[in-house]
Chains A and B, each alone.
Chain A
Amino acid sequence: MTPLLAVVFTLAGLGATAVVTTRQPSRQVVMLSIYGLVLAVLFFVVQQPDVALSQFTVGAVVLPIVVMLTLRKVSGNRPEDGGGP
């Protein structure tokens, strides 16, 4: 087990903890995106680029956009309040 592997696995554990302990969903989705990036790096380090590519596209694009749109819908803000989803 190389130091690099130890570091990425530790980061993954910390990332998961950060996602769960961030109680406000709009902040949590940013943490989730960062955690997804950490996972993608981890998958590269364990020599699985296919899974890393999958995790990277999903974690960077699909999940944040879907969660942001949901939060916008349930927070009761109307679109004219400005800003994007």
Chain B
Amino acid sequence: MTARQRQVVFLVAMAGLAALYLAAIGGLPGFGHYPGAYGDVVDSVGVAARKATDVVTAVNFDIRGFDTLGEEFILFAAATGVSVVLRALREEREAPAPVEEAARRRERSRNAAVRVACMCSVGPTVVVGWNIVSHGQVNPGGGFQGGVILATAVLLVYLGGQFLTFRRISPADLLDAAEGAGAAGFALIGVGALAVGSAYLANVLPLGPSRGVVDSSGTIALISFVVGVEVAASMLVIVSELLEQTLLVKP
């Protein structure tokens, strides 16, 4: 099939699909008129029964926890998949003693202002990342967003031109272990609930005296923490695999 024919087939098909979608939209309640029975229930349950002031995180890590476990395993599988796909051909083509050489090339190409700016941002970024991971049940945030920010902190080291330091503070074995521990931690917190005679992933920890603080809402903070570790490790596994491909492996 030529490109021209394919385009014609697509436009016909897309016209049909769009017509169906637009017909379906006609049956929706108009924008801003969501009836929202579940949302209202969750709003009251999240605060009253979980002492979490961020209802979205309460849904994610508690009320809908099992579904999020599935999402986290998609993340885990995708990051592992990147490693498997990229490592397949690596050994045979890696140049001899390439790490230091590649690193030296990079150090030269950075100017001092960029390096200082990157290094000064690392500390604050780590603090912001952990803050967002640990306060997911209080404010907007949680393990998923905070994990990405934590990964950013390590990437700043690379962007500052310190490829060797980047390799040293994020060695592949440690990242793989953290990734596995994050994924296993979530599943094991669920098993812990089984061990004390409750349902899988039930919120069995004491909820604490007041709402909207870090030690309130039971397992939510714990799950947010392991998800943060998992997301940060997965992002770093992906980026460091790609970096090694770019810097160390001959094309």
Chain A interface residues toward B at CB < 8 A = 1, 48-50, 52-54, 57-58, 61-62, 65-66, 69-70, 72-73, 76, 78-80, 82-85
Pick the contact of B159 from A49, A62, A66, A84 — CB < 8 Å?
A84
- When chains A and B are docked, how far (Å) is the Cα of A65 from the Cα of B54? 31
Q: How far is the CA of A82 from the CA of B144 in the complex (A)?
A: 34
When distances are taken between beta carbons in the complex, the residues of chain A under 8 Å from B2 are none
Q: A61-B155, A69-B246, A83-B109 are in contact. Are A53 and B239 (CB under 8 A)?
A: no
Query: Which residues between 130 and 164 of chain B lie within 8 Å of chain A, taking CB atoms?
Result: 132, 140-142, 144-145, 148-149, 151-152, 155, 159
Contact A50/B141 with A61-B155, A83-B109 known, Cβ cut-off 8 Å: yes
CA distance A11 to B148 in the complex (A): 26
Q: Is there contact, CB below 8 Å, between A53 and B246? A: no
Check B242 against A73 for contact (C-beta < 8 Å). Answer: yes
A73 in contact with B140 given A57-B152, A58-B148, A66-B238 (CB within 8 Å): no
Given contacts A58-B148, A85-B246, 13 further A-B contacts (CB under 8 A): A1-B31, A52-B140, A53-B140, A54-B145, A57-B145, A57-B149, A61-B155, A65-B155, A66-B238, A66-B242, A69-B245, A69-B246, A84-B159
Alpha-carbon distance between A62 and B140 when the two chains are bound, in angstroms: 20
Evaluate contact between A62 and B148: CB separation under 8 angstroms: yes
Give CA–CA (A76, B250) in the complex, Å: 9
Q: A53-B141, A54-B144, A61-B155 are in contact. Are A69 and B243 (CB under 8 A)?
A: yes
